Amino acid sequence: MNKLVLNSESLNKVLEERKLSRQEIIQIYENSQNNPSELFLTSQKLRDVFKKDTVTFSKKVFFNIINLCKDTCSYCTYKSEPSEQKMSMMSKQEIKQLLILAKKNRCVEALFVTGEQPEQKYQEARDWLKINGFKSTAEYLIHASELAIEAGLFPHTNAGNLNKEELKELKKTNVSMGIMLENTSERLTKKGMPHYLATSKIPKARLEVLENAGSLKIPMTTGVLVGIGETPIEIIDSLLTIRELHETYGNIQEVIVQNFQPKQDTVMNSFPPANQNYFKTVVALTRIIMPKMNIQIPPNLSPNSYHEFLSLGINDWGGVSPITPDYVNPEFSWPEIEKIEENSKNAGYELKCRFPIYPEFFSFLDKKLRSKMKDIEDEYGLVSETYWK
C-alpha cells in the first residue's frame, strides 16, 4: 500500500479519537519526512477541536532559590559553582521582597527552582540551610511556598528528584509541580552523552518521581528536550511514556516540548541547535500522540518563530515573567506579554492568563488552596483579565 495512503489512514484514525500504536506513530514520522503538511494540518485540527480558539500562559515570577547542583549536564548553564558570580542562595527576606514585587506586578505564579539536592555535594548549601533554619532544600521550599500563598501567589515547584514524602508535603501549598523527563533513553546517560554526569537524569529515577506524583494526585508538568542527540524513535518512545503515565494516573497537566539551544561555557557549546523542521515535526507528533493534552513550547527559545507553532498543535506558552529572567536560559529574554498577545491574535487565537494549574485539574486541589484562587478567577477557571492586564 502507498505510504501516503498509510499516513492518511493513521491520521484519520486519530481524528476519530482512536489511539495510535507505536508503529503507526513511527510510520507517520517517517512518511512525514518528505512532506509534513498532512501531519501539521491534522495536529492543528486536533488542537482546535480540543483547545478551541484560545492560547494560554502563566504570568510568573522566577525564584532562583539555589543554583548549586550535585549533577552536571553537558548543556546546562543554570548550575553554578560556589566561586561563580551567578551563584544564587536566596534568603527568606529576599524571597519576601520578590513576592511583594511580584504581587505589585500582578503575577500569578511563583515558580520555585533549585539545583538537584545541592546539600549532598556542597558545604555552602548546608551552611545556607542552617542559617535559614532548615535541614534540606525541600524543607526550605515548603516554607517558601507557604510565604507565596500568604502573599497571594500560587507556587509551582521544579526541584528535581524529590522523594514521595517531600512531594506529599509540597502538595499542601503547590497547586502544581514539574519535572522534565527530557528523554527515556538510557543511551543518553552513557559516557560522552549529555546525561553522563547527571545521575538524577537516569530515566528510572525521573519516572519514579512522576509515578509518585501520580499516586499522590499532584498536577504535573513534564516534557521532552529536543535536539540533544536523541534519535526520532527515542523521542517518540519518551512521548509514549508520558502518554502512558497520564493514562495510568491522570495527573499530567501539560507537556513541554523544548528545543535545545547551545550555550557558551558548556561541553555542548558547539552542538547545533535543534533542527527547526525536526522540532516542528516533534511538536505536531506530540499533539497526535496526546490529542487532548495541554502542549507548550517556550516562546523565548524560538524568539522569531514561536507564533508559527500555533498551527502545529500547541495551546500554551508556559510561564512568562515581566520582572525576572529565565535563569535556566538567561541568554533568551522573555518576549513582552503584549507582543505575545499580538502575535497570538494575528495567528487567530486569543491570549488568556491561567493559574499554574489548568482548570480541568482543580479537583486535585485541597479545598483551602482552591478557595484562595477565587478572588482573581473568571467564570472559565482562568485568571480574570482585569487582574493580569
Q: Rg (Cα) of the chain, in Å, rounded?
A: 20
Identify the sign of the CA torsion 229, 233, 234, 235. positive
Predicted TM-score of the model (pTM)? 0.95
33 in any annotated domain: yes
1 in any annotated domain: no
- Contact criterion met (CB below 8 Å) for 287 and 254: no
Cell 522573555, located at residue: 334
- Contact criterion met (CB below 8 Å) for 67 and 79: yes
| Confidence at residue 1, expressed as pLDDT on a 0 to 100 scale | 40
The count of other CB atoms within 10 Å of the CB of residue 143 is 15
Query: Which H/E stretch holds residue 64?
Result: strand 54-66
- Contact criterion met (CB below 8 Å) for 306 and 337: no
At residue 154, what are phi and psi to the nearest 5 degrees?
Answer: -120, 115
How far apart, in whole angstroms, are the C-alpha atoms of residue 237 and residue 146? Answer: 37
DSSP for 126-187 reads HHHHHHHT-SSHHHHHHHHHHHHHHHT-EEEEE-SS--HHHHHHHTTT-SEEE---B---GG
381 in any annotated domain: no
| Confidence at residue 12, expressed as pLDDT on a 0 to 100 scale | 86
Question: In the chain, what's the furthest Cα-to-Cα distance?
Answer: 69
Along the 389 residues of the chain, how does pLDDT read in single tens digits?
Answer: 445 454 678 888 888 888 999 999 999 999 999 899 999 999 999 999 999 999 999 999 999 999 999 998 989 989 999 999 999 999 999 999 999 999 999 999 999 999 999 999 999 999 999 999 999 999 999 999 999 999 999 999 999 999 999 999 999 999 999 999 999 999 999 999 999 888 889 999 999 999 999 999 999 999 999 999 999 999 999 999 999 999 999 999 999 999 999 888 888 998 999 999 999 999 999 999 999 999 999 999 999 999 999 999 999 999 999 999 999 999 999 999 999 999 999 999 999 999 999 999 999 999 999 999 999 999 999 999 999 99
How far apart, in whole angstroms, are the C-alpha atoms of residue 255 and residue 290? Answer: 9
389 in any annotated domain: no
Q: For residue 364, how many C-alpha atoms fall within 13 Å in the half-sphere facing its CB? A: 26
162 in any annotated domain: yes
| Confidence at residue 2, expressed as pLDDT on a 0 to 100 scale | 44
126 in any annotated domain: yes
The count of other CB atoms within 10 Å of the CB of residue 93 is 9
Amino acid at 95: I
Number of domains comprising the chain:
1
Taking each helix axis as running N to C, give the angle between helix 3-15 and helix 22-31, from 0 to 180 degrees, rounded to the nearest 10: 130
How far apart, in whole angstroms, are the C-alpha atoms of residue 345 and residue 28? Answer: 30
Strand partners, 154: 109
How far apart, in whole angstroms, are the C-alpha atoms of residue 108 and residue 356? Answer: 8
163 in any annotated domain: yes
11 in any annotated domain: no
Q: Which three cell numbers stand for residue 70?
A: 550535585
Where in the sequence is the domain holding 170, given as residue range(s)?
19-365
Cell 558545604, located at residue: 123
Which CATH number do you get for residue 181?
A: 3.20.20.70
What are the Cα distances from residue 348, in Å, to 91, 247, 313? 44, 31, 13
Query: Which H/E stretch holds residue 49?
Result: helix 37-51
How far apart, in whole angstroms, are the C-alpha atoms of residue 365 and residue 357? Answer: 9
How far apart, in whole angstroms, are the C-alpha atoms of residue 290 and residue 282? Answer: 12
How far apart, in whole angstroms, are the C-alpha atoms of residue 17 and residue 303? Answer: 33
